[in-house]
Structure 1
Amino acid sequence: MLLLLTCMLAGSPAVAGTQSPQQPLTQAEILERIDRSASRIESLQCEFTQTKELSLLQERMISHGVMYYRQQGGLLRWEYLAPYRYTFILNGDRVMVQSGGRTDVVETSGNRMFREIARMMMNSLTGRCLTTASDFEVQVTVQSDCWVAELIPRRREMEQFFARVRLHFDPERQLVTRVEMIERNGDSTVIDLKNMQLNTTIDEKVFAVD
């Protein structure tokens, strides 16, 4: 389960407002804006670059791929294109993994851990996880060009995988542009999202689970 997750894969002052005189946004206001933006996401597709750092080996692994998400039906396709081919598809209660010419299908309905991981992936991409108090303790800070939400897991299922998760948001679009996952052993995974297309039509075949 950890291998699958690591393969993959919004109380401090905030950003200035748009009116004069400029007023800083509170954490609650930032979270409200992110939640409002997340509620408008019907579909999302983008390219991504993932950087995996192994603390013990002092090794860096970089991969590239594409992601497709559709809110209706809980659909997600996470596909690595280089330097290897690997595809993860979440379609409702079913997950399909394709790697090395092999295809495996798993029913998430009977696996609580898998359901939690799938839910976290979907919610992190949209920012919906920030308003679920039972999942994470959330702290928002502001950098020069983004909002950063640091999430400390509260659920035992997530605690055993991650020490913390950081989500970087574009303040103008309130969309996630970077996901950082820091594991308890010191390893980290950073996913940068780019060329995002919001609420476009995505072919049903993209999410097909055979």
Structure 2
Amino acid sequence: MLKNITFVAFLLISSLVFAQNTAMTSNESKAFVTKISSESQQIKTLQSDFVQTKKMDFLDKNIVTSGKMSLKSPNTLSWKYTKPYQYSIIFKENKIFINDQGKKSSVDAKSKTFEKINKLIVGSSNGKMFSDPEFVVRYFKNDSYNIAKFIPKSAQLLKYIKQIELQFPKNQSTVSQVIMTEASGDTTNIVFKNTKINAPIPDSEFSL
């Protein structure tokens, strides 16, 4: 009896270990890109709650924050962190505007690593992310998600970002999860939920 239980447990563990993503075929990736690009062009605004988990080698515990992300086509994006602290970061006009608990500032966005994530998220709303010249894109799938992995082309960007992964549920054309792996091995995982598409967003969401 014990031997049978052990064998069943081994099968269950094995199925979890080997249940990995598989690469899309050329036809599958083309169909996926065409579908997402076509449907995303209809997105004018997008709002979503998010939970961000930062894993760093030198910390025993993950850093978990949450808030709301708002996007307005063509290229305006707002991240407002509400827990465990108040922090806002807005991308527009090639600048980053920051409100750190009342302390406001702005910087040039072009050289910022996090701006690459925002560029891909904005691109996911207009179908342009798959043609971004800064990345090689590889496509995968599993039972629940279609996955696009963006690998930087330039050695300079590879010093900071190893890969950015976007996950799309099989039944929708918007990103539900972003996983950025830095060159150091640290990861940033952003999970989106309660997503609203083309709902009115007040201008105040994009100002500090």
- Short-chain TM bin: 0.7 to 0.9
1:90 maps to 2:91: yes
Q: Say which one has the larger Rg.
A: 2
Cross-structure match for 2:66: 64
Partner residue, 1:132: 131
Contact residue 54 and residue 186 of structure 2 kept, 8 A: yes
Matches for 1:89-168 after TM superposition, within 5 Å? 89-108=90-109, 112-114=110-112, 118=115, 120-124=117-121, 126-127=123-124, 128=127, 130-168=129-167
CA contact (8 A) 1:168 1:176 kept: yes
Partner deviation per Cα, 1:27-75 (whole Å, 9 max, x = no partner): 1111111111222211100100001001233331111100110014x21
| Corresponding residue SS for 1:50 | strand
Identity of aligned residues (%): 22
Counterpart-to-counterpart distance in 2, 1:139 and 1:107: 30
- Which 5+ residue runs of structure 1 have no aligned equivalent? 1-10, 15-23
Paired residue total: 185
CA 1:141 to 1:79, structure 2 compared with 1: closer, same or farther past 3 Å?
Answer: same
Q: Label 1:119 to 1:139 Cα distance change in 2 as closer, same or farther (>3 A).
A: closer
Kindly state the Cα deviation for residue 138 of structure 1 after the two structures are TM-superposed.
Answer: 1.2
SS at match of 2:199: coil
Runs of 4+ in 1 over 6 A off after TM superposition: none
Structure-1-length-normalised TM-score: 0.79
Separation of aligned partners in 2, 1:157 and 1:206: 33
Deviation at 1:161, TM superposition (A): 1.6
Unmatched 5+ stretches in structure 2: 1-21
1:130 to 1:101, Cα distance in 2 relative to 1, 3 A = closer
User: d(CA) in 2 for partners of 1:133 and 1:205?
Assistant: 30
1:81 paired to 2:82: yes
Which residue identity does 1:169 align to in structure 2? F
1:41 corresponds to 2:43: yes
Superposed displacement of residue 84, structure 1 = 1.0
Aligned partners of 2:116 and 2:155: how far apart in 1?
A: 15
Q: Name the CA distance, whole Å, in 1 between partners of 2:156 and 2:117.
A: 11
**Kept after mapping to 1: 8 A contact 2:46/2:72:** yes
* Distance in structure 2 (CA, Å) of the matches to 1:191 and 1:134: 24
* Letter paired with 2:138: Q
Counterpart residue identity of residue 113, structure 1: S
8 Å CA contact 1:140, 1:149 repeated in 2: yes
TM-score between both structures, scaled by the size of structure 2:
0.79
Once the two structures are superposed, what CA deviation does each residue of 1:79-134 show, in whole Å capped at 9, x if it has no partner? 100011110012223321011320002355xxx414x8536413235524642252
CA spacing shift, 1:117–1:60, aligned 2, 3 Å: closer
Q: Give secondary structure in 1 for the equivalent of 2:192.
A: strand
**Aligned pair in 2 of structure 1 residues 102, 190: CA closer, same or farther (>3 Å)?**
same
Aligned-partner Cα distance in 2 for 1:125–1:12: 25
| Structure 1 residue 187, shift from structure 2 partner | 0.5
* Cα contact 1:76–1:122 (8 A) shared by 2: no
Q: For residue 122 of structure 1, what is the amino acid of its counterpart? A: K
Q: Could you say if the C-alpha distance between residues 157 and 194 of structure 1 is closer, same or farther in structure 2, counting changes exceeding 3 Å?
A: farther
User: d(CA) in 2 for partners of 1:168 and 1:58?
Assistant: 27
Partner of 1:31: 33
